[in-house]
Amino acid sequence: MPKLKTHSASKKRFSVTGSGKIKMGHAFRRHRLISKTKRAKVDNRSTAYASDADASNIKKLIPYK
């Protein structure tokens, strides 16, 4: 079977944990932060995990990670 190319944008945004979950950062944290509540900004600080429905598609994009 030939080698698979890794999707360049995905390898910068996602990583796989030891248990196989897909770890990613939150969106909406770059600009216009004044209009967002403090709770929303605090909740977006920590890392997020992709849902199981999305994880299978993401794993195809980063086969060797």
Q: For 30-60, how does the pLDDT look when each residue is reduced to its tens digit (9 = 90+)?
A: 999 999 999 999 999 999 999 999 999 999 9
Q: Mean of the per-residue pLDDT values for the chain? A: 96
39: domain CATH number is: 4.10.410.60
In a domain, 25, yes or no: yes
Closest by CA position to 22, among listed 56, 9, 7, 5: 56
In a domain, 52, yes or no: yes
β-bridge partners, 54: none
Distance CA 64, CA 46 (A): 25
Report the domain count for the chain: 1
DSSP letter at 57? H
Look at residue 1 and tell me whether its pLDDT is greater than 90.
no
In a domain, 3, yes or no: no
Q: Are 62 and 11 in contact (CB under 8 A)?
A: yes
pLDDT of residue 65: 86
In a domain, 2, yes or no: no
In a domain, 57, yes or no: yes
Q: Kindly report the CA angle at 41 between 58 and 25, in degrees rounded to 5?
A: 15
